[in-house]
Structure 1
Amino acid sequence: MNAHSAWLSPDGQTRQDTRVTQVGAVTPVTDVKGRSGVLPGSDGGRHRVTGLWLAGTAGAMSATVGVGRAVIQSSIARGAYPVAVTEPVPLTFADGNPQYGRIDLVVLRVYDHDHDASGRYEAAVEIVQGEPKALPEAPAAPDTSLVLFTVAVAAGRSAGNGGIDWDNARVDLRPATVAVGGILPTHSDDTAPGGYPGHYRDVGTTLQRWDGAAWVPYPKGIGGVVPAGVLTTGGYPGQYRDSTTGVLQRWNGSAWLPAVPGPAFAQSLDAGSTASTTYTATLADTAVSALTLTFTAPPSGSVIISLGARMYTKDSETASAHMSPQVTQGSTVIWAADDERAASASGAVNKSVSTALRLNSLTAGATYTVTAMHRSTNAAVTCWFDTLFLRVDPIT
């Protein structure tokens, strides 16, 4: 029979019918299989999972597995086996090999004679003993079993010779499973994929969502601002986070950009001069080789560029000093320096001048550089520039 229905057959419900029709019982792995695991929960809600804990006896080779509930998924035909351990189960580990250590498993195992010819119909907590080796490895888990712990048994250990060092020998491998739609509490080293897009799990202090290909950190609900240092990749375009430098950022689908870009500002208080009649970024007599400013284009693609300086033309009332912006994106010149876009002054007396210009058609999110360029209208006249500044303001 390929289709099973619970509580429908007039001849009675079989054990297999019961197992394979646990719709919604556990975290899905496929459309018809669930995730094997221990049901989470603890007194007072202080711990992720307390069921089926392995408590070792100090200085001995014995331990006890506590009470708890679990689900063990088998094949599609066999279904999932719910198991409840209602009384603590004592276990005794074999003495260590004289020469080599080994790794044992503690498992919750299901025996079903109808499928494994074991002659048994029961669940059991067991030790699966590993092989002593110079580099010991855990043995393979039996079919239809759930690995709870690995226990390293050091060479030569016995009840009369130190017993098992439980704090260091015991490794907790208990996976958790919850109902469909429930948030799965798990370990950071859990590599199991999600069962469906929109599946959630809790890893330590981070909530994650399965997007169909990977677990994506999702520490805040839609519209929430993610705390600094928590999220590397955004969960959706329009998500906001606080950066480690205190800047509010927005995820655009591929990168984090300032949520409110600019204004950006740069200045130099060191005077410099040039007699070049072609625009140059370099001024003489100053420690500032070139005044530049980098900015990120806002979503509108438009900015206001302001620049200015205190200028004078040495020993000339007729020559002019020009200061104009040059805008580049990498090696591409977007705006070349031009007299039409220059702040200009004439005369041998200092004058503070500035201008503001609108630049459009920038690529939102792209990085641009503004460079202050300078020239004199007369090669025989030296032009001086002091208290220079550049400023870029985004236009919304």
Structure 2
Amino acid sequence: MTVRSAWLLPLTQTREDTRLTPVGTYAPESEMRTRDGVIAGGNPFAATSAGAMSLQIGVGRAQVQGTDAQGAYPVAVDAPVTLNFADGEAQFARVDSIALRVYDQLFDQAGQNLAAVEIIRGTGSATPTAPSMPSACLRLWDVTVPAGASAGVGGIPWSSALGDRRRFTSTYGGIIPRGYGLAFNGAYDGQYRDNGAGLERWDATAGAWEAYPATPTRPISTKQVTPAPLTTTGAFVDFTAAAWPRITFTVPSSGAVFVSVGGQVSNRSTAASTAWMTWRATGAYTEAHGALNGLSAQAGRVIGTRRVYRDGLTPGGQVTLIPGWNISSNAGTDVFVQDGQLTVEFVQ
């Protein structure tokens, strides 16, 4: 036997069938559906030219999902299968698909119970597309058949005609290997897949695949360009964007960040004179200039950094931080707010 499937009538499933077909492979796609796909290992269902209009499909194993009522069929191809393509259309190219197909007379009108490797023929068109798959079919390859192609005129250019459409599956809790197409949602929170460059974990709350472990986000920082002008006293004042650029950032999924402000502040006008270097937040999160986030000096000079933690922010929200200053009096010497740096660190 070349193509085997478990759980088909009549009840002639052999022990060999059971051993060869991937009965234990089960990656959920919904409450009642299994993710169909190729079982990784070597180069399953490899496509090799077998002639001008012929293609050989190698051995491999897979799960083929039918309707919800049918369930998924474990399939094994234990010997290469050669397929012969019909000649090209007279005017336009077409795209044929090679698929694993399961016939089950309890659910279809074919009147037979078997699994097969088949060509699903496409339609000639100025812009040909691959044909839709019948139920209980798993697409493996697309083949572009040029207009007028035949064995007598060179056949199909296999080096450029093949499109690999093998997608992979795994067992429940396993990592889905990289395969054709990454545009699919996860089936459950915490599912993993290999995107070809690293692992991703499905976050059901966010409805997105996220790098795992999370890719560290570099801190964002701006530096003060010019000192505070000291033209206003006794109140908090925003630096202009030219004097000290603002920071706009997207709140990470944790909803938490560290914000640091540092530099030199000094005011020795009187024993009670103060100088402040601060920031305020606007946008998806708001916070005013003040003692909760500022760096200050009274009747003296301070060089330092103030680092504060902020959580409970809305993930995905846009927040802008605006540096500020406050001078209580500026009649004396050593009155300045300068050399500032504002930094946002993202908590993953």
What TM-score, normalized by structure 1, do the two folds share?
0.60
Where does residue 325 of structure 2 map in the other structure?
371
Is 1:354 the counterpart of 2:301? The answer is yes
Is 1:105 the counterpart of 2:60? The answer is no
Letter in 1 for 2:40: P
Where does residue 252 of structure 1 map in the other structure?
none
Is 1:119 the counterpart of 2:119? The answer is no
Q: What SS does the corresponding residue of 2:98 show, helix, strand or coil?
A: strand
Using a 3 Å threshold, how does the CA distance of structure 1 residues 40 and 374 change in structure 2: closer, same or farther? Answer: same
Task: Tell me if structure 2 keeps the 8 A contact 1:111–1:121.
Answer: yes
| 1:130 CA drift (Å) | 1.1
RMSD over aligned CA atoms reads 4.8
Using a 3 Å threshold, how does the CA distance of structure 1 residues 158 and 194 change in structure 2: closer, same or farther? Answer: same
Task: Tell me if structure 1 keeps the 8 A contact 2:87–2:148.
Answer: yes
Q: Greater relative contact order: 1 or 2 (C-alpha under 8 angstroms, separation 6 or more)? A: 2
Where does residue 253 of structure 2 map in the other structure?
none
Aligned pair count? 306
Where does residue 46 of structure 2 map in the other structure?
53
Using a 3 Å threshold, how does the CA distance of structure 1 residues 146 and 293 change in structure 2: closer, same or farther? Answer: closer
Task: Tell me if structure 2 keeps the 8 A contact 1:280–1:375.
Answer: no
Match of 1:78 among 53, 70, 79: 70
| 1:302 CA drift (Å) | 9.3
Match of 2:280 among 312, 323, 329: 329
Using a 3 Å threshold, how does the CA distance of structure 1 residues 303 and 108 change in structure 2: closer, same or farther? Answer: closer
Where does residue 36 of structure 2 map in the other structure?
36
Letter in 2 for 1:202: D
Using a 3 Å threshold, how does the CA distance of structure 1 residues 57 and 335 change in structure 2: closer, same or farther? Answer: same
Q: Percent identity?
A: 31
| 1:293 CA drift (Å) | 8.9
Using a 3 Å threshold, how does the CA distance of structure 1 residues 74 and 323 change in structure 2: closer, same or farther? Answer: same
Greater Cα shift, 100-109 or 140-149:
140-149
Mapping 1:251-290, distance limit 5 Å: 266=224
Using a 3 Å threshold, how does the CA distance of structure 1 residues 204 and 390 change in structure 2: closer, same or farther? Answer: closer
Is 1:152 the counterpart of 2:144? The answer is yes
Using a 3 Å threshold, how does the CA distance of structure 1 residues 371 and 125 change in structure 2: closer, same or farther? Answer: same
Using a 3 Å threshold, how does the CA distance of structure 1 residues 361 and 154 change in structure 2: closer, same or farther? Answer: closer
Match of 1:177 among 146, 169, 188: 169
Q: Supply the distance in 2 between the matched residues of 1:76 and 1:323 (Cα, whole angstroms).
A: 72
Where does residue 212 of structure 2 map in the other structure?
219
Letter in 1 for 2:189: P
Unmatched 5+ stretches in structure 2 = 1-5, 250-255, 314-318
Where does residue 254 of structure 1 map in the other structure?
none
Task: Tell me if structure 2 keeps the 8 A contact 1:305–1:393.
Answer: no
Using a 3 Å threshold, how does the CA distance of structure 1 residues 188 and 37 change in structure 2: closer, same or farther? Answer: closer
Where does residue 25 of structure 1 map in the other structure?
25
Where does residue 266 of structure 2 map in the other structure?
308
Q: Supply the distance in 2 between the matched residues of 1:119 and 1:33 (Cα, whole angstroms).
A: 24
Match of 1:209 among 169, 182, 201: 201
Is 1:90 the counterpart of 2:82? The answer is yes
Letter in 2 for 1:308: S
Listed one character per residue, the Cα deviations across residues 35-93 of structure 1 (whole Å, up to 9, x for unaligned) are 21111111xxxxxxx111211257x2211001111121223443322221111111121
Mapping 1:134-149, distance limit 5 Å: 134-149=126-141
Task: Tell me if structure 1 keeps the 8 A contact 2:265–2:336.
Answer: no
Letter in 2 for 1:143: S
Q: Supply the distance in 2 between the matched residues of 1:163 and 1:75 (Cα, whole angstroms).
A: 37
Letter in 2 for 1:354: R
Using a 3 Å threshold, how does the CA distance of structure 1 residues 143 and 384 change in structure 2: closer, same or farther? Answer: closer
Using a 3 Å threshold, how does the CA distance of structure 1 residues 14 and 166 change in structure 2: closer, same or farther? Answer: closer
Unmatched 5+ stretches in structure 1 = 1-5, 43-49, 221-225, 232-240, 248-257, 282-288, 313-318, 345-352
Where does residue 3 of structure 2 map in the other structure?
none
Q: What SS does the corresponding residue of 1:186 show, helix, strand or coil?
A: coil
Higher radius of gyration, 1 or 2: 1
| 1:151 CA drift (Å) | 0.8
Task: Tell me if structure 1 keeps the 8 A contact 2:262–2:304.
Answer: yes
Task: Tell me if structure 1 keeps the 8 A contact 2:53–2:150.
Answer: yes
Q: Supply the distance in 2 between the matched residues of 1:77 and 1:271 (Cα, whole angstroms).
A: 72
Q: What SS does the corresponding residue of 1:147 show, helix, strand or coil?
A: strand
Using a 3 Å threshold, how does the CA distance of structure 1 residues 157 and 373 change in structure 2: closer, same or farther? Answer: farther
| 1:363 CA drift (Å) | 5.4
| 1:206 CA drift (Å) | 2.0
Using a 3 Å threshold, how does the CA distance of structure 1 residues 73 and 329 change in structure 2: closer, same or farther? Answer: same
Using a 3 Å threshold, how does the CA distance of structure 1 residues 265 and 35 change in structure 2: closer, same or farther? Answer: closer
| 1:101 CA drift (Å) | 0.8
